[in-house]
Amino acid sequence: AAALSCRRYVAGGQCKSTAKLEGKVAIVTGANTGIGKETARDLARRGKVIVACRDIAKAEAAASEIRAETGNQQVIVKKLDLADTKSIREFAEKFLAEEKELHILINNAGVMLCPYSKTADGFEMHLGVNHLGHFLLTFLLLERLKQSAPARIVNVSSLAHHGGRIRFHDLHGEKSYNRGLAYCHSKLANVLFTRELARRLQGKSQRKAEFTANALHPGSVHSELVRHSFVMMWLWKIFSFFLKTPWEGAQTSVYCAVAEELDSVTGQYFSDCQPAYVSPRGRDDETAKKLWSVSCELLGIQWD
């Protein structure tokens, strides 16, 4: 009984919403495995899902499994490599040409604990994929989301944001690099991006928050995210009982994407399908504004 209640505690909150997404379109990045795949599976029971992944073969395998299970043929694979801005622009261009609407964007894909490396554009890998890639993707799809409102942007962050700081003097870790901290920094960037995005969107929209942006911590999930670290993989195996399954980990993403009670909630951070504590650094509006302008500079975009 103790084991069971412990397991239940680990499992955390569940998304109770039965909201259907008929005629609606959702994009989930990194949906070929782990939390992203479970998020796509759930949304596929409700409406049309675009599975946006770097590895097309893996994505097709995941998509056909989801189609078979949900009976929804509208699970579509598109290539998206967040470590390459050219790929992000191509993805957005194709999507905008093919889809007239976009109601939900779930920025889920991420890298964790990778050895020092850079993206195609010379960004440190964690910051480049987890923050800048999704920042650019959101920018490119923003008008379509606005036209389709009510629309939601969901950024998958992490409890690890508590350990992060935005090191403007060394954003790409060239002076000093620690892969654990690099991950934390990128997850803090997700929280700050969400905060500043929500602030800007609220100013733009006449009707109350028909267009929202929220971030979340999925929980400590048994997934492939730790594949770059032998020690973490070993710890994950030992403590798997205390880790969420990918399905449990996807609950808060789904909740942020569909729950009716969040219709006009924006700029918040959730965990276990409820509001959660954000670190003081994650609430720093000055850093959020500065990160926004630095991100625009790095990506060569103007986003006012």
**274 DSSP β-pair partners:** 271
Q: How far apart are CA 224 and CA 232, in angstroms?
A: 11
Say whether 116 is catalytic: no
Please give the DSSP secondary-structure letter assigned to residue 163: G
Q: How far apart are CA 28 and CA 95, in angstroms?
A: 13
Residue 289, number of CB atoms within 10 A of its CB: 15
**Structural tokens at position 198:** 């929500």
Catalytic pick among 116, 183, 255, 277: 183
Counted residue by residue, the chain has a size of: 304
Strand arrangement of the beta sheet that strand 21-29 belongs to: 75-79, 47-53, 21-29, 104-107, 151-156, 211-217, 269-271, 274-275
Residues with a known catalytic role: 183
